[in-house]
Amino acid sequence: MADGGVPAHYEILERWSRGLQMLHVAHNIASERFNRWNRVTGISTAMLSAVVGTTLFASLSASGLTGVRVIAGTASLLAAALSAGQLVWNYPELASRHRAAAVRYATLRRHVDMRLASRDQVTEADVDVTSSEWEEIEQSAPQLPIGVRRRARREIASIPRRT
């Protein structure tokens, strides 16, 4: 028994539940962030490609417009860089992996909360099972950016605690 008559195993799972909440929220934030970046880079690439195409037609019809050619060349390079970036960064895949991790962390957290509902029946086996499941999720979950973890902590801190 820990201080106050609460079993030590219960306190461990209670602490882990808060950690799982943070990871669940953080992976949701990361998934949303990478989905947003995918849209931003996709739309930017399409717009720049349209500008390049329009500018090239304009510069062909008016050969003396050097500024137009410079803008077209710059936009063309930027569009190519964004297209290459989309392939390298692979935002849809990252968003999907973070979303899957968020779902798995949420499921594990619900299981922990169900175990915590039976305060007097929490055992070392419950802690061991939770630890094993958590390790399995961590092995497949993508790494979280530090800023995402900070934002998740702020969001959780703003939620009133249940008593």
Query: Does residue 150 form part of some domain?
Result: yes
Query: Does residue 141 form part of some domain?
Result: yes
User: Residues 22-70: pLDDT tens digits?
Assistant: 999 999 999 999 999 998 988 888 887 777 777 766 666 666 667 767 7
Query: Does residue 151 form part of some domain?
Result: yes
Q: Phi, psi (5° rounding) for residue 105?
A: -65, -40
> In which domain, by residue range, is 57 found?
3-156
Q: For residue 25, give the DSSP letter.
A: H
Reported confidence tier of residue 114, pLDDT bands at 50, 70, 90: very high
Query: Does residue 161 form part of some domain?
Result: no
135: its two tokens? 């390790």
Query: Does residue 40 form part of some domain?
Result: yes
pLDDT above 90 for 119:
no
* Number of domains forming the structure of the chain: 1
134: its two tokens? 């958590």
User: Residues 13-29: pLDDT tens digits?
Assistant: 999 999 999 999 999 99
Query: Does residue 162 form part of some domain?
Result: no
Of the listed ranges 1-15, 25-39, 83-97, the one predicted with least confidence: 1-15
Task: Look at residue 132 in the predicted model and tell me its pLDDT.
Answer: 97
User: Mean pLDDT score of the chain, rounded to an integer?
Assistant: 87
**Alpha-carbon torsion (27, 29, 30, 32), positive or negative:** positive
Task: Look at residue 57 in the predicted model and tell me its pLDDT.
Answer: 66
Query: Does residue 34 form part of some domain?
Result: yes
**What is the per-residue DSSP string for 67-123?**
HHHHHHHHHHHHHHHHHHHHHHH-HHHHHHHHHHHHHHHHHHHHHHHHHHTSGGG--
What single-letter amino acid sits at 43?
Answer: I
What single-letter amino acid sits at 137?
Answer: I
Query: Does residue 135 form part of some domain?
Result: yes
